[in-house]
Amino acid sequence: MKNQPDKPGPPFTVKEIAKYLKCPFEGNGKTKIKGISSIENAQKGDLVFCSKKKYRKSLKKSLASAAIIPRDQKFDQIPVIKSENPHLSFIRVIELLYQPERPKPGVHELASVSQSADIGSPISVGAFSYIGDHAVVGDGTIIFPHVTIYPNVKIGRNCIIHSNVSIRSSTEIGNQVIIHNGVILGSDGFGYIKKKDSSYAKIPQRGKLLIKDNVEIGANTTVDRASLDDTIIHEGVKIDNLVQIAHNVEIGENSIIAGQSGISGSVKVGKNVIMGGQAGIADHIRIGDDVIIAAKSGVSGNIRPKSIVAGYPHRDIRTWRKIWASLSQLRPMMKEVNRLKKRIQKLENQNKNTRE
Residue from the set 30, 60, 306, 341 that interacts with a copy of itself by CB under 8 A: 341
Binding of residue 170 to a copy of itself (CB under 8 A): yes
Least separation in angstroms between CB 17 and a copy of itself: 15
Which range, of 52-60, 64-72, 74-82, 338-346, touches a copy of itself by CB under 8 A? 338-346
By CB under 8 A, name the one of 9, 30, 61, 94 that touches a copy of itself: 94
Alpha carbon separation from 260 to 111, 129, 177, 224 (Å, rounded): 32, 27, 20, 15
Stretch that binds a copy of itself, among 10-18, 19-27, 59-67, 163-171 (CB under 8 A): 163-171
Residue 44: how many CB atoms within 10 A of its CB?
9
Give DSSP secondary structure letters for 55-67: GHHHHHH---SEE
Residue 308 is a binding residue for a copy of itself (CB under 8 A)? no
Asked if 43 interacts with a copy of itself (CB under 8 A), we say no
182 touches a copy of itself (CB under 8 A): yes
Q: Which is nearer to a copy of itself, 82 or 180 (CB)?
A: 180
Q: Residue 167: left if φ>0, alpha if ψ -120 to 50, beta else—which one?
A: beta
In the complex, minimum distance from the CB of residue 174 to a copy of itself, in angstroms, rounded to a whole number? 14
Considering only 75, 123, 128, 158, the residue that binds a copy of itself (CB under 8 A) is 128
* Residues 6 or more apart whose Cβ sits within 8 Å of residue 61: none
Residues tagged active-site: 247
Cβ proximity to a copy of itself: between 76 and 325 the closer is 325
Q: CA 294 → CA 289, 300, 323, distances in Å?
A: 15, 14, 16
Rank residues 44 and 74 by Cβ distance to a copy of itself and give the closer one. 44
How far is it, in rounded angstroms, from Cα 137 to Cα 120? Answer: 6
| Of residues 322, 288, 324, the one with CA closest to residue 307 | 288
Residue 87: Cβ-neighbour burial (10 angstroms; 0-12, 13-18, 19+): exposed
Our finding on whether 123 is near a copy of itself (CB under 8 A) is no
CA distance 334 to 159: 61
Contact positions with a copy of itself (CB under 8 A) in 47-76? none
